[in-house]
Structure 1
Amino acid sequence: MATLKALVVDDASFVRDLVKRTVRQRFPVIETTDAQNGRRAQSLMSRTSFDLVLCDWEMPEMSGLELLQWMRQQPQYAKVPFIMITSRGDKDHVIEAVKEGVSEYLGKPFSPEGLSKKIIKVMGRRLKDAMDHGGKSMDGPVDAFKESATLLTQKRDVPEPRPEPSVNAPDSDNPLLAASGPTPAAAKPAARGAMSLASVRFADSTLKSVVKDINLTEVRVIARRDQVFPGILDQAVVDIDVGDGQMARLNGYVHQLQAVDKRQDTDFVSVTIRFVDEDPKKMEDLSRFVARFRAGGR
């Protein structure tokens, strides 16, 4: 029986479901409620007491940082653990969240193990006592995603270090131009536009790629086969330079993996990422990039 309550806040229902599933499977003593933005979370928190808040940063109506600031001003929530789960992992944002009283910071995409460790860290003895009282063990995090698409998901044995994402890399870092011999016609970017690089981040790796096509729903990128690839339904964050020094960090999941050539030894793989964000600001940034991409960067 659940004895603790957690509030999951994210504008993307896909991400909320992943967080809730991890918490439910790993910590059955925690009951989860979700909200699509900070304003809705604020309303729920005014009516119900929560023992833990797991929150995104960028959301419409009220951001995660604004919710955190409001929380710390409420006597009943002044010391309640708050885990910021976001794709904004640069130093300045981390420092800003720490100043406002964040308990822990978890970058997207996250693994079930990573999320579990953060929850254990901020909940401490209270969570352990609740688990012990319920006869549950906290030994060894459970992979909350194993129940979904087991046959379709490619598992990685050894995680690679995650380099800093960069979409402004020189041509020498281009995963397609680095290939030996001529680039296959099928792997070349659309003739209508200049080559656009994208860094696609997963829980255990970063994929350097070239944007083949993009719209407001999804992006299709081409990447060299010699990199570490994700599995179907894995979380992803697509970092795209939208101009004027601005970076759009779009949350999504792997919708499709496909060989570029109709042969087993193809050098390139096509990856389709389906976006899940509902933040109007992100959609505005994406719209500008799509228009520029289709106009050929002119």
Structure 2
Amino acid sequence: MPARILVVDDASFIRDMVKKHLRTLLPGVTLFEAVDGQRAVALLKKQTVDIILSDWEMPGMSGEELLTWVRGQENYQKTPFVMVTSRGDREFVVKAVQSGVSDYLVKPFSADELMTKVSKQLKRLGINPKKAAAAGGQGVAFGSIEALTGSTAPAAKSAPVASPLTGKPKPVKKAPPRKAQKGVAQLRTASLSCDCLIREMSLQALNGVIQRTESLPVLFEAAVLDIADAEGNPVARVNGYVASLQGAEPHVDTRLIKITIRFVDDDPAKFEQLSKYIARL
């Protein structure tokens, strides 16, 4: 019997990415999805699943509240529940495990990390991942490219601004004082962690500059941004994906990379925080 897995996340990009990787690992796997805890509960009342992969920070019914409900159901008391979160600090993880989480994934995560966690839970259920894949059939269903590139409109173009890293400012015709106030974000992907200087930001995306290193982000790779203001005060933690990469200097040895991170969160509280921050830029 193919494995039955429920994916819960308010960000459609994250759900599509997880489903794509799961279908690669387990061709023919039966997948269910929900955009929040409440819809997950409604689905679980009708369907039986083997594993639950759930975001922890969701608007409405959170992952923690969903876990409490799941563990209160006789038929789901021992069902593997893998927490997906942007937070990886020890105290947070320990508290989640004490609440009944079976395992956890910290965003951004690689396909290999996801596969390892899912395979571990399948083995605990007595399901051999290789045999489960073979039982699923021949075809491998992949998420459509539209899910990665066409779900949102492209970011609006804006006038060039000064780069804090190059020290070569360019003239800005509109509201130069507002453009001069920049912030910094800590960018994390599965391949690197680095500072990102903010050039432009909206409620849909962030345009920034990072230093070139041996490890570079990958297009469409999941990313987490910890955004801080110019004084270093934390503003918000936002989930997104790498939408574009471009050399910041007109030669092959450029030391700076322009990067665009498009946001995938659907959390009114985060939008409110970002709106206030953007208004001060």
- With the length of structure 1 as denominator, give the TM-score of the two structures: 0.77
Q: Deviations over 1:7-62 (max 9, x none)?
A: 00000000000111111110125311100001100110011111100000111111
Q: Deviations over 1:149-174 (max 9, x none)?
A: 9xxxxxxxxxxxxxxxxxxxxxxxxx
1:251 aligned to which of 239, 243, 256: 239
Q: Is the 8 A contact 1:9 1:35 kept in 2?
A: yes
1:268 aligned to which of 256, 267, 273: 256
Distance 1:100 1:195, change over 3 A: same
For residue 169 of structure 2, what is the aligned residue in structure 1?
185
For residue 214 of structure 1, what is the aligned residue in structure 2?
201
Could you tell me which amino acid in structure 1 is paired with residue 257 of structure 2? V
Q: Deviations over 1:95-128 (max 9, x none)?
A: 2211110000100011010000001112215464
- Structure 2, unpaired ranges of 5+: 147-162, 171-175
For residue 41 of structure 2, what is the aligned residue in structure 1?
42
Could you tell me which amino acid in structure 2 is paired with residue 258 of structure 1? Q
Matched residue SS, 2:52: strand
Separation of aligned partners in 2, 1:9 and 1:245: 31
Separation of aligned partners in 2, 1:127 and 1:54: 18
Tell me whether 1:239 sits opposite 2:226 in the alignment.
yes
- Structure 1, unpaired ranges of 5+: 150-174, 294-298
For residue 226 of structure 1, what is the aligned residue in structure 2?
213
Q: Is the 8 A contact 2:123 2:129 kept in 1?
A: no
Q: Deviations over 1:150-204 (max 9, x none)?
A: xxxxxxxxxxxxxxxxxxxxxxxxx965xxxx62336xxx753433111110012
Distance 1:211 1:134, change over 3 A: closer
Q: Which runs of 4+ in 1 moved over 6 A?
A: none
Q: Deviations over 1:49-84 (max 9, x none)?
A: 111000001111111111011111111110100011
Distance 1:236 1:127, change over 3 A: farther
Offset of residue 231 of structure 1: 1.4
Q: Is the 8 A contact 1:235 1:252 kept in 2?
A: yes
Separation of aligned partners in 2, 1:89 and 1:255: 24
1:101-140 to structure 2, matched below 5 A, reads 101-124=100-123, 126=125, 128-129=127-128, 131-132=130-131, 135=134
Separation of aligned partners in 1, 2:73 and 2:125: 21
Number of equivalent positions: 255
Q: Is the 8 A contact 1:254 1:273 kept in 2?
A: yes
For residue 59 of structure 2, what is the aligned residue in structure 1?
60
Could you tell me which amino acid in structure 1 is paired with residue 249 of structure 2? D
Separation of aligned partners in 1, 2:126 and 2:275: 44
Offset of residue 93 of structure 1: 2.0
For residue 151 of structure 2, what is the aligned residue in structure 1?
none
For residue 3 of structure 1, what is the aligned residue in structure 2?
2
Farther off after superposition, 113-122 or 226-235: 226-235
Distance 1:222 1:191, change over 3 A: farther
Could you tell me which amino acid in structure 1 is paired with residue 224 of structure 2? V
For residue 23 of structure 1, what is the aligned residue in structure 2?
22
Offset of residue 136 of structure 1: 6.5
Offset of residue 262 of structure 1: 2.3
For residue 152 of structure 2, what is the aligned residue in structure 1?
none
Separation of aligned partners in 2, 1:127 and 1:258: 47
Farther off after superposition, 46-55 or 265-274: 265-274
Distance 1:127 1:290, change over 3 A: farther
Q: State the percentage of identical aligned residues.
A: 39
Matched residue SS, 2:120: helix
Distance 1:15 1:131, change over 3 A: same
Separation of aligned partners in 1, 2:132 and 2:64: 34
For residue 196 of structure 1, what is the aligned residue in structure 2?
183
Q: Deviations over 1:243-265 (max 9, x none)?
A: 99655111111111112222223
